Amino acid sequence: MTSEAGGAAPGPGGLAIEGPDYSPGFWLWHATLRWQREVAAALAPTGLTHVQFVLLSCAWWLNDHGVVPNQLQLARQAGTDVKMTSQVVRKLEAKGLLERETDQDDTRAKRLRVTGAGTALALGAIGRVEAADAAFFRPLTSAGTPPAEITALLRRLAE
């Protein structure tokens, strides 16, 4: 059903789409669920959950680029909730993957350093997740869509 202007016209119940098969949000949801399952499977041998991986790899990346972030900076980099970040950071610290040290300029804040064991685990996990991503996005890249274009599109949707 289309309107005179060429867009979807409201159907029964007042909806402007013809059902879930025509909803980009519906398919984004399904794609996200499939991607999350594939990333979880890739991470299983590492003993990291997906959120632990994201926070550890973001902390590693920041450290590798000369930044020793506090938990707020790490949460912003990762796009995660600050309280949840704090809980996960404690778990990563308990596993010996991160060290928290008191910030000399603000004694309430903790600076985060990835340990040697954390670096090794992060790098291995990053390789696993990159391989899972490549496999997940292969239907697009094999059809000629450059990975940089896929990334740019997803970045636009995330902003």
What is the per-residue DSSP string for 42-96? HHGGGT--HHHHHHHHHHHHHHHTT---BHHHHHHHHT--HHHHHHHHHHHHHTT
Average pLDDT of span 150-156: 95
Tokens of 111: 């600076």
More confident residue, 2 or 143: 143
Confidence tier at 148 by pLDDT (50, 70, 90): very high
In the predicted model, what is the mean pLDDT of residues 31-58?
A: 98
Backbone angles phi, psi at 93, to 5 degrees: -65, -45
Whole-structure pTM value: 0.85
What is the pLDDT of the chain when averaged over all its residues? 92
Summarised one tens digit per residue, pLDDT across range 85-130 is 999 999 999 999 999 999 888 898 899 999 999 999 999 999 999 9
CA atoms within 13 A on the CB side of 56: 32
Residue 78 near residue 85, CB atoms below 8 Å? yes
